[in-house]
Amino acid sequence: MTTSWPETVAQARELRRALHRRPEIAWTEHATAATVRDILDTAAIPRRDCAQTGTVGVLAPHAPGRHVALRADLDGLPITEQTGLVYASEHAGLMHACGHDGHTATLIAAARWLKAQEDSLPGPVTLLFQPAEEGGHGAARMIEDGCLGPPLGNAGGRPVDVVFGWHNWPALPLGRALCPDGPVMAANGTFRVELQGRGGHASQPENTRDPVLAAAAVTVALQQVVARRLAPQEAAVLAVTSLQAESAPTVTPDTAALGGSIRVPDLGVRDRVFDAITEIATDTAAAHGVSAEVQTFARYSATVNHPAPATELRDALTAVFGDDWPRHQAAAPVMASEDFSYYLQEVPGAFALIGGGSADAKETAPLHNARYDFNDDLIDPVARLLVGLAGGARVPTADKKPR
């Protein structure tokens, strides 16, 4: 069993890059899950499968203190990598563009260190290796499968008392973080508008009902939802992210479609935005002589920190990064979304966004970008953070090594 902290961090760095080479999207993380399970088995950390490709590990299951859960996510994204790295994705059309490879490797580092001091842990520690965060509601499935219950289903054990999570955030410089009381990330939803017109020859527009023109008009009209349907004090983002109207240069098609996403601070605002999308898309389409079918899909709720765990997480951030970590320009909540919200609806807990960007974070590729790469310099401090939250002994200072 590895007890050297520098060796633990070095192994996690190697694991992170190995995971980066073979990303798997939501609900297909079979090789990733097998790797996590093999590592836990080798470290003699009891575990069970959870939610198909998820895994729950446990340390000190019979310790009398509070039961802490720590979470990492596993899945990648359907994006073609353009980093040119020696460890770039070997799976065509897939990449770890959100840093879940780094989250997994960091929790493994903390788990190995905590295992070496398991007998002195004050309470049980549950390790949540969760699939399908990227829109797959993996956290909900983990909860349904009992991940927050007594350790490994031990009838005499206690369920999870508090849960902690984090996400790397390249928009913030390394050493900065965001961890407020209350909302830290927004709720979200998606929408799709299908337009039915009448196709024909491009030279005879009077004989057609052009769904392409209607789609363009709907796209522009939807921009009034945030600007004119919500109060300035209500934060929201509405983005049309796709347009489809395949045809030939001389052919007006019968149909067109557009889709996108919304980000809002609470579910009441989400419902109002959805209603406005339906109204505006339907009426705009009608004004162009075509019909519209609008579908809206609720996804994740806002990620809302509980005050006491958030205070504890902020104290842990100070212990690792020093007093300057709150000094940044990010406002809460950020408008991205996270299915960690499901855990926080079940038990108290907190979630932090931890900076992984350069000194000028604007120069760092953002999440979900084909040139993004997780900053390996986060592994050491965040693994220390997780060890501290679990009640583990203070980690000795490790020599800093270049990426």
The verdict on whether residue 293 carries a ligand-binding annotation is: no
- Beta-bridge partners for 356: none
> Is 64 in a helix, a strand, or coil?
coil
The verdict on whether residue 306 carries a ligand-binding annotation is: no
31, amino acid identity: A
User: Could you tell me how far CA 331 lies from the centroid of its own chain?
Assistant: 18
DSSP state of 177: E
The verdict on whether residue 50 carries a ligand-binding annotation is: no
The verdict on whether residue 167 carries a ligand-binding annotation is: yes
Residue pair 368/79 in contact by the 8 Å Cβ criterion: yes
Tokens of 330: 């990010």
DSSP state of 118: G
Tokens of 246: 């395949």
Determine the Cα–Cα distance for residues 226 and 233; give it in Å rounded to an integer: 11
DSSP state of 150: S
> Is 258 in a helix, a strand, or coil?
strand
Cis bond before residue 122 (omega within 30° of 0): no
> Is 380 in a helix, a strand, or coil?
helix
105 Rama class: left (phi>0) / alpha (psi -120 to 50) / beta: alpha
Spatial neighbors of 284 by CB under 8 A, at least 6 apart, are 214, 217, 218, 221, 292
- Which of these, 180, 206, 182, 177, lies nearest to 317 by C-alpha position? 177
Spatial neighbors of 307 by CB under 8 A, at least 6 apart, are 181, 182
The verdict on whether residue 30 carries a ligand-binding annotation is: no
Sheet holding 68-73, edge to edge: 47-50, 54-59, 125-130, 68-73, 162-173, 349-357, 177-178
Determine the Cα–Cα distance for residues 216 and 23; give it in Å rounded to an integer: 35
Cis bond before residue 333 (omega within 30° of 0): yes
Q: Residue 342, class by beta-carbon neighbours within 10 Å (0-12 exposed, 13-18 middle, 19+ buried)?
A: buried
List residues forming the annotated binding site for Mn(2+): 98, 100, 134, 167, 368
